[in-house]
Amino acid sequence: MNYRAKLWSALPGGAKKGQEMIAKIVENVDVLIGNEEDLQKGLGIEGQDVEAKSKLDPEAFFGVIEKAVKKFPNVKGVATTLREVHSTNRHDWAAVVWLEGEKFVSPTMQLDVIDRIGGGDGFAAGLIYGLLAGKKPEEALRLGWAHGALLTTFPGDVTMAKLSEVEQLAKGGSARVQR
């Protein structure tokens, strides 16, 4: 998911039409990857005020997930990153996955961010890689969490991380990239 309020407000029907279109898509998927705002504003699901409260709170997100799955029972998995922004270049970073009722939470790490754009996409790529490679859900989550974290340490939104670096960080190693 990648809900963009400005996009939908500029189109006929506005946010309501956007929610209708997104709902039609979500009715045909098994896994959603998006943040709280994507779920709340994109699917019309109530939750905490994501703009006023930025604390990393996995349980708040799991509450939103429960509402999303009730509305879209075909969904078997939901995942997101959790980011608390202290400054432009200092973030706390975590991630969660809900798979068929089971909850998985990554560790939290402090990041020295060079470019925050693409961290969520890096998370999605690592998570999907882990799931398709047959990894256990917790390991797939940590691969996504690690890849997204590493991606924020590069300029631009394209990864330069090697699989070995992602795996090392996922297992508890350092986010320092070996060059």
DSSP codes joined into one string, 37-55: HHHHHHHT---S-TTT---
pTM above 0.85, yes or no: yes
Q: What is the per-residue pLDDT across 63-101, written as a single tens digit (0 to 9) for each?
A: 999 999 999 999 999 999 998 889 989 999 999 999 999
Candidates 49, 50, 52, 46; CA nearest to 68 is 46
| pLDDT for residue 51 is more than 80 | no
Q: What do you get for the CA distance between the two ends of the chain, in Å?
A: 33
**Residue owning tokens 């340490």:** 153
Confidence band for 52, pLDDT divided at 50, 70 and 90:
low
Neighbours of 16 (CB within 10 A): 10
Q: What is the per-residue pLDDT across 105-136, written as a single tens digit (0 to 9) for each?
A: 999 999 999 988 889 999 999 999 999 999 99
Percent of the residues in the chain that have a pLDDT greater than 90, as a whole number: 58
Domain 5-170 grouped into CATH 3.40.1360.10: no
Most confident by average pLDDT, 9-13, 56-60, 161-165, 174-178: 161-165
**Residue owning tokens 């699901």:** 45
DSSP H/E element including 17? helix 14-26
Chain-centre distance of CA 4, in angstroms?
A: 15
Delimit the domains of the chain by residue range.
Answer: 5-170
CA dihedral (12, 15, 19, 22) positive or negative: positive
Confidence band for 56, pLDDT divided at 50, 70 and 90:
confident
Kindly compute the dihedral angle of the four CA atoms of residues 85, 178, 129, 169, in this order, to the nearest 10 degrees: -60
